[in-house]
Copies of this chain bind each other. A is one copy, B any other.
Amino acid sequence: MVEPDRGQEPAVDAVGVILDAVRLDRASPVPLYYQLAQGLERTVVGGLLPPGTRIDNEILLAERLGVSRPTVRQAMQYLVEQGLVVRRRGIGTKVVQPKVRRPLGLTSLFDDLRSDGQEPATSVLSLGVVGAEASVATALGLEEGAEVVELVRLRSAGNRPIAKMTNYLPVGRVEISREAIEKGGLYELIRSAGIVLHAATQTIGARTATTAEARLLDESRGAALLTMQRTAYDDHGVVVEHGNHVYAASRYSFQAQLLSP
């Protein structure tokens, strides 16, 4: 043990490490602040700047990197939003303990599972045009009974069913085929239709399984199910999709990483 390092920050030459790790290319179309932010992020998650490390002040950093102070600030702001550093006026900037960073964002279960390395399988139980029920019509902003695309899927991983997913979409906005949906997931299809997802509201609840649900999801009668209703909007505020999903609670849970406002 060479370093006593008791309660104080580890002796790391932050600015040196950063200058080594970050290469700014002014010819690149990527903004300078973003190059810097990404470089800093790599440096932090790569462990070159351990938790607790004090990062030198903006003015010094700006000088050494050859950019202006607002540019450094913009990059730092990004790191704060990612929860990688904490800044306090009069004190300085410090690398914080990194935590799991699963954002519970605008991704699908498919994406979640795939990034977990589990190869998910999907089977389409039904796909067609139906008249909208009241709740669906409300969510999509249509009249009750209006035509909507209904898509029902069973999602499995490791040969066991995980979720029954029911989605409703306005007719004609997204072209859905069974093949495409089994291959890439609904959200991939939506994005490839040129729709930019912007926001979603979702509600997570629980209830007990009906007999049919229990059989479908390979659970016992009366088992607890997680339910999730999600309505997704594009960047014009128009509803893109409404989903009503049930998950086998014994094999699935939602995780979220929260940051202070």
Contact = CB atoms under 8 A, between A and B. Distances in A.
B206 A256 contact: no
Interface residues of A, number: 50
Interface stretch (A29-37, A41-49, A121-129, A232-240): A232-240
Given A97-B233, A208-B208, A249-B207, A258 B201 contact: yes
Copies in the complex: 2
Interface string A226-261: 100000010111100000000001101111111111
B199 A261 contact: no
Interface stretch (A55-63, A99-107, A112-120, A168-176): A99-107
A198 interface: yes
Interface of A: 51-52, 70, 83, 86, 88, 94, 96-97, 99-100, 103-106, 196-208, 222-226, 233, 235-238, 249-250, 252-261
Would you list the 7 A-B pairs with minimal beta carbon distance, nearest first?
A97-B237, A206-B206, A205-B253, A206-B249, A96-B237, A206-B224, A204-B254
